[in-house]
Chain A
């Protein structure tokens, strides 16, 4: 019988911050490997959208759909909306898809949970990693929505308030990622299809992506109902920062909803996640 004498491992300092950093390094490695497939997926929808509404339709004579003559071009309305919806979709998918695999197929979450950090911190790590992907998704959409348009249909965008832009992009990504973690830990995998049909699609369509929230004055019930949609606050927040000339929610309102919602969803998601992992 052969004896397997292992050399002792090199000296290790497994502090919680170091472990956390290593886990983020793993995410970065995976993101780099899958960059194309991941981000092509987020780009297609907004690119198609601006192509049809800011290029094809205006060419066909159906342009300037919003605001009428002299008002803002539709492309101007779309910039904050499409950036916001990309952030939300990408951050949610970045947390939900891997989680479905880890919680169910092969139960590989048990292995991730063996990394030497408290389980709630593992949940926070998942939220931050997904938020980074959401943020990258949002940034990648910018050039598309700024550049694709017919002549005379260019969006009028100027950053009116940098701090608000940065806070909304960062906190909006975290909001979506924590919401994704909450849904992912509450739902069983068979319901993922339902999640897309019943939650993500209506959320995007009605997320004040294609019109400002104030325009809903004419449909009061929808305006009120929209307040339950987190994407509305991200779209409106970006509208306030990028296209301040277009009516938008007051800054305190969307910041309160985004930051408060992030705190609430993160708290809830770390609890549901811990309950799924520790039995």
Chain B
């Protein structure tokens, strides 16, 4: 069976503005995003909370109606072909949306039946998936008496019941402890290695770096950059970022650093200095020495290795905060 040629996800100038409600003015949550996700890819939408990631995933999964642009999933339009898209996608939302009136196994069984499986096939598929994800002993468990990690795994199983062409995950590891998070990463890596197309949103830099083939960085409803993690690191010129805070205005000599080979940018904001370097060398030590020479003390200093965090910093000029 050959894969259909359409990309898994394609958006053009996708926009969503929530109308004003009472005293709240209208909210432009997504302001024109272009995405292109081929089949088989593990794609990440990365950005701080409120960047518009969940709204974007909401539009791709047909539950948020775009106010501009177009979005296609498996070649189908999210507005016109919503029902057909729903048949072809699996969605794992951020909250525990499992059906609290049903056991874990029944959640899967009925999900399968909603998507056209016979009751017997649905039960068999549910058993198979629960075994694969180490959930067999929780089959009869109430979804709200499980740990966060278990419930999330049940939700992933539920989303996989009908063999979706694209699996969407909205902040899959938010609120999970580090151990559970790395376990879940293994689950997702395994799925991708098995050929599953996955689109996830995350506000964890390290999650995007650990999992995704390609990443789109979004902030304030706009796409800042997209590409592989390495491409982003190179393109942003954001290599190592050295930050020093002085207890007085920074010494003037610091501006001369910008001319040196291996340094792409120097930003000075009163006592705060940020150097974007390709070859970090001992710039941090130099900055401290320059301060000492000028009689200015250092109150804070940091050196960030090349990462999506430094990319974000280079793109937005702001430090990445959750």
Interface of A toward B, CB cutoff 8 Å: 1-10, 12-16, 18-19, 22-23, 25-26, 29-30, 33-34, 101, 106-108, 110-111, 113-118, 277-279
Contact = CB atoms under 8 A, between A and B. Distances in A.
B58 A279 contact: yes
A29 B115 contact: no
Contact of A16 (B82, B83, B125): B83
Contact of B61 (A2, A5, A30, A114): A114
Interface residues of B, number: 51
Contact of A110 (B18, B97, B115, B128): B97
Contacts of A106: 95-97
Contacts of B97: 106-108, 110-111
A19 B115 contact: yes
A1 B125 CA distance: 24
B162 A9 contact: yes
Contacts of A29: 102, 106, 110
Given A3-B194, A33-B101, A116-B83, A108 B110 contact: no
Interface in B109-123: 110, 112-119, 121
A33 B142 CA distance: 13
A279 B191 contact: no
B309 to A, nearest CB: 24
Contact of B193 (A3, A18, A25, A110): A3
B160 interface: yes
A12 B102 contact: no
Contacts of B87: 14, 116
Contact of B93 (A1, A30, A111): A111
B97 to A, nearest CB: 4
Given A7-B128, A10-B118, A15-B116, 12 more contacts: A1-B189, A4-B190, A9-B117, A12-B115, A13-B116, A14-B162, A108-B98, A111-B93, A111-B98, A118-B82, A278-B64, A279-B58
Given A14-B115, A106-B97, A1 B86 contact: no
Given A4-B191, A107-B95, A278-B65, A116 B125 contact: no
B196 interface: yes
B186 A2 contact: yes
Interface of B: 18, 58, 61, 63-65, 82-84, 86-87, 89, 91, 93, 95-102, 106, 110, 112-119, 121, 124-125, 128-129, 132, 160-163, 186-187, 189-191, 193-196
A18 B97 CA distance: 23
A112 to B, nearest CB: 8
Nearest to B59: A279
Given A4-B190, A106-B97, A278-B64, A9 B125 contact: yes
Contacts of B195: 5
18 contacts: A3-B194, A4-B191, A5-B195, A8-B163, A10-B121, A10-B124, A12-B112, A12-B116, A12-B117, A15-B116, A106-B97, A108-B98, A111-B99, A114-B91, A116-B84, A116-B114, A278-B63, A279-B58
A279 B61 CA distance: 12
B163 A115 contact: no
Contacts of B96: 106, 108
Nearest to B190: A4
A255 B99 CA distance: 37
A101 B115 CA distance: 24
A232 B242 CA distance: 76
A114 B82 contact: no
A116 B86 contact: yes
A1 B116 contact: no
Nearest to B61: A114
